[in-house]
Structure 1
Amino acid sequence: MSESDPEYWFCLKHHTVEPTEGCKANDRLGPYATEAEAARALEKVAERNEAWDNDPEWNDQD
């Protein structure tokens, strides 16, 4: 992303997609290149968490 490209964020507080001007950074995930990517933020987090939970190199529970 270049500085002139818009960025989108997913607000964890309001469960909405926001532009750069929005809630504080602690309450957001991103930046994302498109609104659609930002809207999928929680899905992406769940997918990554599941992948990491099932990764034998990172799973320290026996």
Structure 2
Amino acid sequence: MNDSGLGGAGYFWCLRHHRVEIGDDVCPAQYRLGPFATADEATRALETVEKRNAEWDAEDARWTGESS
């Protein structure tokens, strides 16, 4: 399953299998988020994405002068 050339560096959240993956048994890059430093961080990957998207949306609104 490994197509990254990372050699198993880090933990990944698999969007297809909804689990943490590590090592040489990870899904292709299009199905994963990461790498993360810990399995716990990888488990919270979707929360991290949601938080960052909200921060970026707020920054975009501030930049363009729109109110949220």
TM-score norm. by structure 1 comes to 0.77
**Overall identity of the aligned pairs, in %:** 46
**What count of residue pairs does the alignment treat as equivalent?**
58
Query: Which residue does 2:3 correspond to in 1?
Result: none
TM-score norm. by structure 2 comes to 0.71
Structure 1 runs (4+) deviating above 6 angstroms are none
CA root-mean-square deviation: 2.3
Structure 1: segments with no counterpart, 5+ residues:
none
Correspondence list, 1:24-35, <5 A: 24-35=28-39
Is 1:20 matched with 2:20? no
Structure number with greater Rg is 2
Structure 2: segments with no counterpart, 5+ residues:
1-5
Name whichever structure is richer in helix by fraction: 2
